[in-house]
Amino acid sequence: MSEYASTEETSLANLLRRKIPCLANVPLCEAVRYWMSMYPGFTLHSHEITSDGVQQIGHFYLSPTSDPVCPDCGQTTSRIKDSKPRTVIEQPLPGLHRTYIHFHLRRVRCKCGCCKNERLPWLDPKQRITRRAASAVQQAVRLEGNTISKVSSMFGINRKAVKELDKRQLKKLFDKPQIGRLRRIAIDESALHKGHRYATAFMDLDTGQVFAVVKGKRKDDIRPVFEDLKQRGLLESIECVAVMNAGFAAVAKDYLPQADVIYDLFHILQNFTAMVLAPACKHMVKLKADELREEFEKRRQDGQTPTREWLNKQLRDVRRDYRKSEWLLVTPPDALKPERQQRLEKLIEDNALLAALYPVAGKLRKLWRADTVEDAMECLADIIEILKAVSESLDFKEVLSFARLLENHSDGILNACKHRVGTNRLEGANNKIKVLKRNAYGFKDFEYFALKIKGLLPGKGCSAWWELSGFKMVDNEERIVDAAYEPLPLARLSSNACQALQSA
Ligand SMILES: [Zn+2]
């Protein structure tokens, strides 16, 4: 071994022992061997740590110690056509912000006729990132809350590469997910892009697993999922289906004549907000604005000179007071923070329409919790009565269409009471999907978006993620592999090799 390599390795060993706690008390040579065992067939030629004053970046230059391996026949060959310099990203050594590996990738001209780049156990073909780093990226990006851009800046690789690594693992595990015995399912649509495009998700309500996501929200969009379940013999055991519109209910009835169709509380509340509360708030804003304009005119006639600015400010204040206030009216009061509770009280005090509508959400919640179907029926009749009274006494006709919706769906609503379908699962799922949309994951790539939802909601007790436990990863041929070149445990390094290194 040359003097130079030995000095290099000593300084590397010192670096490694400083950076990696478990190496602090081992001989120098073992520290180097530990690290170099990650790159079989190569040795460290030199290394360099650069710093921008804040973060340190490591560059490690490898040179080969043995002949390359042919990717086709797997034989070692000495016939090399050419070689090209390569820089790949390695998972950063502890304490370093980035770690780069520099080496020459050789192209073999093998006896078997193959003329391709050599095969390396630590680097997949055409990748700019080592297997171990790819495995770390896959691990990082599947943590909830880690967005693509966050992982991209963590590892210093571009967003497209992070997305591809993530999509690869999701596709392997969730393209055709394992589905257990289905008993209660929910079909749920959500708007993808400001209401222009939709996705529909299928969820097992007992485990919380989302097992299918399709584009669109029409009847024909969801039929293929039922066809697939039919082929897999999974339809017979289904007892009830929670849906959010009549179209879904009709398709569900086609495939599941034995099952009860249910309308779930969460979506009825959403409908209530969209059909009644939001227009009511708008209506109130309009009334207040009219009052203000009248006051403005009156003051002018009285000889005062209120300015346009004054009026505009008042109008802005009114709009601000009512912004998103519909949500205050459907949230359970004990879930509101004190300042929002105060805002709610003021709203109800200030206007009769919202005060009259306020009890409806509470009653709807009570309806889904009713102990018997009779109680539920009574509660439903009660709600419809309130709505009709509001429409007459306060001249607000929008409530009637919601009352009609409740009447038309009364079977489905009373079924919810019978099957005791809780809303937490579906609500939780909806919130996760909302976060996903906010993080601007690929709307352009619907397949990825659908996989991402399934990966986020893999279900309790049956998660496919366990297949990637430890250092496993999905490689570019969609196989689950161990991030191949995890270094040997220190104890397994031969003492001969250590002595050889020490005496060099
Ligand atoms: Zn060959």
Asked if residue 173 belongs to a domain, the reply is no
- pLDDT at residue 18, as a whole number: 72
pLDDT tens, residue by residue, 192-219 = 766 667 889 999 988 889 999 998 888 8
**326/360 same-domain check:** yes
- pLDDT at residue 9, as a whole number: 67
Mean pLDDT of 472-495: 63
CB atoms within 10 A of CB 222: 23
**321/238 same-domain check:** no
**278/389 same-domain check:** yes
pLDDT: which is higher, 342 or 192: 342
Centre of ligand 1 from the C-alpha of residue 142, in Å: 37
Residues in the chain: 504
> At which of 419, 448, 476 does a domain end?
419
Asked if residue 208 belongs to a domain, the reply is yes
pLDDT band at 20; cut points 50, 70, 90: low
Write 389-394 long-range contacts (CB < 8 A, 24+).
389/356, 390/353, 390/356, 390/357, 393/356, 394/352, 394/353, 394/356
- Report pTM: 0.74
Centre of ligand 1 from the C-alpha of residue 69, in Å: 8
**211/253 same-domain check:** yes
pLDDT tens, residue by residue, 307-341 = 788 888 888 888 887 877 788 888 887 888 888 88
Tally of structural domains, the chain:
2
- pLDDT at residue 501, as a whole number: 44
- Residue 377 belongs to domain spanning: 265-419
Cβ atoms of 137 and 475 within 8 Å: the answer is: no
- pLDDT at residue 486, as a whole number: 47
Centre of ligand 1 from the C-alpha of residue 77, in Å: 8
Q: Average model confidence (pLDDT) for the chain?
A: 82
Asked if the model's pLDDT at residue 90 lies above 60, the reply is: yes
**195/225 same-domain check:** yes
Centre of ligand 1 from the C-alpha of residue 350, in Å: 83
Centre of ligand 1 from the C-alpha of residue 85, in Å: 22
Asked if residue 399 belongs to a domain, the reply is yes
**398/452 same-domain check:** no
Asked if residue 17 belongs to a domain, the reply is no
**362/413 same-domain check:** yes
Q: How far apart are CA 51 and CA 33, in angstroms?
A: 26
Q: CA-CA distances (angstroms) from residue 86 to 41, 71, 102, 156, 451?
A: 16, 18, 6, 16, 33
Centre of ligand 1 from the C-alpha of residue 115, in Å: 8
Q: What sign results for the dihedral spanned by CA atoms 209, 214, 217, 218?
A: negative
Centre of ligand 1 from the C-alpha of residue 121, in Å: 16
- pLDDT at residue 4, as a whole number: 42
Question: Out of 88-92, 290-294, 426-430, which region has the weakest mean confidence (pLDDT)?
Answer: 426-430
**247/270 same-domain check:** no
Asked if residue 97 belongs to a domain, the reply is no
Centre of ligand 1 from the C-alpha of residue 68, in Å: 10
Asked if residue 80 belongs to a domain, the reply is no
Asked if the model's pLDDT at residue 496 lies above 60, the reply is: no
DSSP 67-122: --B-TTT--B---EEEEEEEEEEEPPPTT-SEEEEEEEEEEE--TTS--SBPPBTT
**404/293 same-domain check:** yes
Asked if the model's pLDDT at residue 121 lies above 70, the reply is: yes
Centre of ligand 1 from the C-alpha of residue 111, in Å: 6
Asked if residue 157 belongs to a domain, the reply is no
Percentage with pLDDT > 70 across the chain: 90
Asked if residue 383 belongs to a domain, the reply is yes
- pLDDT at residue 19, as a whole number: 65
pLDDT band at 165; cut points 50, 70, 90: very high
**295/313 same-domain check:** yes
Q: Taking ligand 1, which is a single-atom ion, which protein residues have CB atoms under 5 Å away?
A: 70, 72-73, 110, 112, 114
pLDDT band at 170; cut points 50, 70, 90: very high
**415/280 same-domain check:** yes
**220/300 same-domain check:** no
Centre of ligand 1 from the C-alpha of residue 70, in Å: 5
